[in-house]
A and B are shown apart, each in its own frame.
Chain A
Amino acid sequence: MIERFGTWEGFLGLVAIGFVAYSVAVVPEFATDFNISQAIAGMSERGLIVLPMVLLIIAREIDLSVASTLALASVVFGVAVQAGLPIGAAVAAAVATGAVAGAFNGVLVTVLGLPSLVVTLGTMAMFRGIGYVILGPRSVNVFPDSFTDFGIDNVGSAPIPWTFVPFLVLLPLFVIVLGHTALGRRIYVIGGNPEAARYSGVRVDRIRFGLFVVSGIVAAIAGIVYAARLANSRADNALGMELDIIIIALLGGVSVFGGRGKLIGVFFAMIIIAVLRNVLGLYQISGDAQGTSTGLLLIAALLLNSTVQRIYAKYRIVPKRIQSAGPRSGGQAVTSNEAPNTRM
């Protein structure tokens, strides 16, 4: 039994389920269609962007420019719609913008060898700046009904908003790539030890570049989703969202030092944060107090994570551990054998 939940992801899963069950039982008005669907809708963009972010952090990189890319893509999308382009073409223009933005980050990191933290800190300001150059402080807010309906409506009678569907489509894709393909294994290996990866023939830079491009594209998709949800294209869209996304990834058990983490943990982290925010809102706890709670949660999680692992490590039979990790998740097996306590 201990073995069964003896991972951070298992622990998070228990916490998430417990928290949801508690909220349903105790918090008035929590378990209504409207409330559930809006709590989910609020995660539409964060869920999307966190997917490539997890891959990047596992590969020892980071993309701080995601929220700015989102804003820029939403501006390009809005301007295209305003110019009379059909929605399909406007979507293509926005996605292309995201791809170019991601490629720009990728080139600076892989060709010029600059650290991604610094590069994307710069492009974080730059991409949003370009958004302001294009649209100034104005906004585009006239969209076709079909588009705004996508931003507002739920799927059938289920409390799942349409804006959450792109995430639900991409999630299994990312889970498969990261957990069940050679590419996924290489991403772990790069994060675990980039030099070793290079010597064993992994095309490290090509994979890194690809991850940045994917990050840009997904951020652009999130930009379109955001524009639909708020019926608004504006250069200051999603201001500060990059931090939320990184918090979700870290809370989900993705190691800041790379090489470790799973999307299932990140998914549970999303549930915990969405429910926490929602419940605080229902209890009328406002603004900065909410931000403080998320911050505290992250710090508590970092402390707990290392403690939980230390405790479980005592009870765990080592050969079985390796067996259960399987030969596929090479990067993880290596790191957990090394020293489970040194990483987070």
Chain B
Amino acid sequence: MRLRNKSLGIAALALATSLIGLNASAAETCATGPVTVGFISKLDTDPYFEVSKQGAEEAQAEIGGKVLQQSPGQQTAEAQIAFINSFVSQKVDVIAISSNDLNALAPALKRAAHQGIKVVTYDSDVVAPARGVFFNQAKSDSVAEMLLQSMGDLTDHEGEFAVLQGTPTNANQNSWVDFMKAQLKDNPKFSKMKLVQVVYGQGSEQIAQQQILALTQNYPNLKGISVPDGIGMPAAARALEQAGLLGKIKLTGLAPASLLKKYIQGGAVQDVWWNVKDLGYLTYYGAQAYAQCKITGKTGETFKAGRLGDYTIGEAGEVVLGPAQIVTSANLDVFKF
């Protein structure tokens, strides 16, 4: 290192350390009107969160405040932490996050709360102490049962099936699959169905397609594949179609019904779904109520969510949008998202 570079380095360091601004910590306060809500999604290529954002914007048009949304390019906790910090710096009032990791976001979210920012989760939760309220699209056990019910409908309730989920760390997908396993063991309705393997698409359409083709080769008697992953499911449908196996192997899972329209119409594919737009709508209303201290996250508290009506906070600060539904060619028209 030459002298001139040394002096440059010292200058840079001096500049960096002179950037000590004022401490931005605010006291715990209740907003008196609508505030800014910063949404952090799981992944920027996932259309799910664009649809939920439309719902948030609809709610914002009704009651005011501001919607921001940022999305990481990688489906990891670390990528989301950068956006949590960024929203703290931007001084949003509420952070609403769909978490990529149950535990790893907790320190960053607690730090955000320490800076006076309210934290809620939607779609995918973090550990309870790290957030105030969780806006859940549907109870995990009911989603899991719907997924099995749908698979049963397609395969006459017997034979081998596999599961393709997104990443191994995805908290809500893990809980759905766990509930499915428990149901397979305990519920006589599903006693003849056998889950042979759980594989992971890693948030990539390409990997999902490869995994689907590998499954069809490894299990010649495979009757169906359940894909509780919004990116994996359309990819799975295309892979089966291209391999000429659609219909021989039935497909169900969780994904925007609009992306699967033509497959569902064919009858070999079903989908378990809810109104995604409503989830964003509910989350925005709930986040505003939380910022204004109308709710604090305690069981039994209620708030009004515009056209969706009244909601009550359940166990552990959880608010459930409503029961999920099985999408078939018969009711496809209801799911306009």
Interface of A toward B, CB cutoff 8 Å: 4-5, 7, 9-10, 13-14, 16-17, 20-21, 24, 29-36, 38-39, 42, 136-137, 139, 141, 148, 151-152, 158-160, 175, 179-180, 229-232, 234, 236-240, 262-264, 267-268, 271, 277-278, 281-282, 284, 286-291, 324, 326
- Secondary structure at the A interface, as helix, strand, loop or mixed, is helix
Could you give 9 example pairs across A and B, Cβ below 8 Å? A10-B5, A29-B91, A38-B88, A139-B101, A232-B103, A238-B78, A281-B70, A281-B85, A287-B44
Taken residue by residue from 117 to 142, chain B's Cβ proximity to chain A (1 for < 8 Å, 0 otherwise) reads as 00000000000000000000000000
Q: Residue on A with the closest CB to B23?
A: A33
Please tell me if the beta carbons of B77 and A152 are within 8 angstroms of each other in the complex.
Answer: no
B169 and A286 within 8 A (CB): no
User: How far is B202's CA from A239's CA once the two chains are assembled, in angstroms?
Assistant: 12
The complex places the Cα of A1 from the Cα of B9 at a distance, in Å, of: 17
A264–B90 contact, CB under 8 A?
no
The reply to whether B68 and A284 form a contact with Cβ atoms under 8 Å apart is yes
- The residues of B that contact A290 with a CB separation of less than 8 Å are 73
Interface assignment of B168: CB less than 8 Å from any CB of chain A: yes
Q: Is the CB of B2 closer than 8 A to any CB of chain A?
A: yes
Is A281 within 8 A of B12, CB to CB?
Answer: no
Residue of B nearest to A275 (CB): B16
B330 within 8 A of A: no
Q: Which of A21, A262, A271, A286 contacts B1 (CB 8 A)?
A: A262
Bound-state CA distance A239–B72 (Å) is 14
Interface size class of B (residues with CB under 8 A): 35 or more
Given contacts A159-B20, A281-B89, A284-B86, 10 further A-B contacts (CB under 8 A): A20-B16, A32-B22, A139-B169, A231-B104, A231-B106, A234-B101, A263-B1, A264-B5, A278-B86, A286-B44
- Footprint of A on B, CB under 8 Å? 1-2, 4-6, 8-9, 11-12, 15-17, 19-24, 43-45, 68, 70-74, 76-79, 81-83, 85-86, 88-91, 101, 103-104, 106-107, 111, 115, 167-169, 174
Q: A232-B101, A232-B104, A291-B73 are in contact. Are A9 and B5 (CB under 8 A)?
A: yes
B107→A282 contact, CB < 8 A: no
Output the nearest chain A residue to B174 by Cβ-Cβ distance: A137
CB neighbours (8 Å) of B72 from chain A are 286-287
Contact B74–A240 (Cβ < 8 Å):
yes
- Tell whether, in the assembled complex, residue B1 and residue A179 are in contact, meaning their CB atoms are under 8 Å apart: yes
Residue picked from B21, B71, B106, most chain A C-beta under 10 Å: B21
In the docked arrangement, what's the CA distance between A255 and B86, Å? 33
Contact B21 A264 (CB under 8 A): no
Residue of B nearest to A179 (CB): B1
List, in ascending order, chain A residues with CB within 8 A of B22's CB: 32-33
